Amino acid sequence: MTRPGLATVPARVPLRRLREGSRPRRTRRGLLADVVTWAAPAGVGVALAIGAVGPLIRLLTQAGWAPPGAPGHLFVVAALLLVLGGLAQLLRSAGPVTASSAFWFWLLSAPVRRRDLLRRRYFALLAVTAVLVCAVAGLVAHTGSVPVLPAVAAAALAAVALAAGTVCGQVWEMADHAGHVAGQAIRAAGVLAFGSLATGVGRADLNSALRAPPGVAVIALEALAVTAVACCAAGYRALDRIDVSVLRRGQGLWTAGHVAVASMDVFMLTEFLADQRARQAGRVRPMRMGAPFAAVLARSEWARLRRRPYLAVRAAAAAAVWWGCRPMLHGPALAAVAVIAGYCLVLPMAGTLRQLAANPGLRAQFTPRDRWLSLTSLAVCLLASAVWTAVVMPGLGGGTALASLLTAGLTAAAYRTATRPPLDYTGPLVPTPFGDYPLDLWRQVFRGPLLLAVITAGAIAITAR
């Protein structure tokens, strides 16, 4: 008997039955058609997984790629610190336990224990985080010629602790603040470790200190395991305290990420992030534009750059990391990393180009001098490419040919990516298991990354000579 004003809390099993009963029932023929459609990709996936077993065993048992005498332990710790710091920031921005609008609208308003609804998402978050970090840690440990299993175990435990800790941060402000500071400290420690690798300051001492005896490594792993279990339990208990406003916080980022992946357009995500930053910025100090028009163009680009100081910090960190990788990687691999890192740094400079290309209305405002705006943005990209080339060239060798390729190629790749017109789906369609696919779509989507691949191949070829 329910007292007036109180709703009964439905039991878990009938609720599950109700949810399952609401799903449309499939006919046997429909089910068969689905199985046939998915059979081919599933077969390819299984074959790839079987094929990967051998290389994986070799990865776990054989020596890595680092040259003899390289400071592999310091490299692995530095790289894992950066990975974990980045993970902490990503999880904090994205939620990490989040819910789609349909989910929170229909289910979270129901009088059901919130932990029952969120439990599956929480465990999925922990599992996915652990698996992804394991894969990266395995690759990093192999690159540094360090025993793979302890490195993977330590990284996975730390990642699980971080993920569970950020769930606590969703509920308790103090935990969120602590997580933010910890994430920044981990990233800074990673960059400093790469700085030590690059400059040689304290490199030998740190490397030998990190080569811990087996007993110490086991104690460290046990401590990490205890921390991870404690964080997981605290995170699980926190699920009941998560409210809808918190669950919605990361939804925008997830949606932007989902749209960016679905439309294969990274700017969908970066524009969302820029929008968020602009909302947080509130008021800024406007710059006097003055005259003539050429000076106005330069001032407008300077105003944009001045409002994104994190780009300079990111570039400095990238330079430290690249130079830190130098004792570990061979010439062609270093060249590939230089090209891809350069592309990631130059692309955000092409914001004006991107906005003009994506918004005909904005371009029309500035007609007929919209081209000058595009050219100014391109000049900024060229300048950024030249600076990055100047930073990495002393470590690469390769002479004028490689320097020209890097400077011109990075600018061209950023230009191609930024000026991608809205996607055109009107070409001929090819049937795939995932639906009809416009044949011309891949060329439109990859117009920038394809050029980047060509430039990377060119840089590898030059450095391998």
| Interaction between residue 163 and another protein (CB under 8 A) | no
Give the Å distances, CA to CA, from 171 to 106, 168, 236, 329, 409: 22, 5, 11, 43, 47
| Interaction between residue 22 and another protein (CB under 8 A) | no
| Interaction between residue 7 and another protein (CB under 8 A) | no
Smallest separation, CB 411 to another protein (Å): 20
Tokens 């394809």 locate to: 450
| Interaction between residue 289 and another protein (CB under 8 A) | yes
Binding to another protein, residues 240-279 (CB under 8 A): 271, 274-275, 278-279
Site string for another protein, 367-396 (x = CB under 8 A): xxxx-xx-----------------------
Counted residue by residue, the chain has a size of 465
Smallest separation, CB 112 to another protein (Å): 36
- Closer residue to another protein, CB minimum distance, 237 or 277: 277
- Closer residue to another protein, CB minimum distance, 328 or 380: 380
* Ramachandran angles phi, psi of 383, nearest 5°: -65, -45
Q: Among 13-21, 247-255, 304-312, 379-387, which window interacts with another protein (CB under 8 A)?
A: 304-312
114, 180, 248, 304: which one contacts another protein (CB under 8 A)?
Answer: 304
Residue 233 contacts residue 115 (beta carbons within 8 Å): no
| Interaction between residue 348 and another protein (CB under 8 A) | no
Q: How far is Cα 213 from Cα 218, in angstroms, rounded to an integer?
A: 9
307, 314, 326, 416: which one contacts another protein (CB under 8 A)?
Answer: 307
Smallest separation, CB 38 to another protein (Å): 35
Q: Among 147-155, 297-305, 398-406, 441-449, which window interacts with another protein (CB under 8 A)?
A: 297-305
Q: How far is Cα 336 from Cα 267, in angstroms, rounded to an integer?
A: 23
- Closer residue to another protein, CB minimum distance, 294 or 461: 294
Strands 435-438 and 429-432: what pairing?
A: antiparallel
Cα R_g (the chain), whole angstroms: 26
| Interaction between residue 365 and another protein (CB under 8 A) | yes
115, 180, 249, 308: which one contacts another protein (CB under 8 A)?
Answer: 308
Smallest separation, CB 365 to another protein (Å): 5
| Interaction between residue 309 and another protein (CB under 8 A) | no
DSSP letters spanning 5-33: T------HHHHHHHHHHHSPPPPHHHHHH
Structure tokens, 146: 């360090």
- Closer residue to another protein, CB minimum distance, 293 or 442: 293
Residues near another protein (CB under 8 A), total: 40
Q: What is the 3-state secondary structure (H, E, C) of 357-383?
A: HHCHHHHHHHCCCHHHHHHHHHHHHHH
Closest residue by Cα to residue 82 from 157, 143, 153, 137: 137
Separation of CA 187 from chain center: 14
| Interaction between residue 285 and another protein (CB under 8 A) | yes
Q: Residue 274 contacts by C-beta under 8 Å, 6 or more apart in sequence? A: 351
Q: What angle do CA 376, 380, 385 make, to 5 degrees?
A: 145
- Closer residue to another protein, CB minimum distance, 21 or 282: 282
Residue 164 contacts residue 235 (beta carbons within 8 Å): yes
Structure tokens, 233: 């339990």
Binding site for another protein (CB under 8 A): 271, 274-275, 278-279, 281-291, 293, 296-297, 300, 303-304, 307-308, 351-352, 355, 359-362, 364-370, 372-373
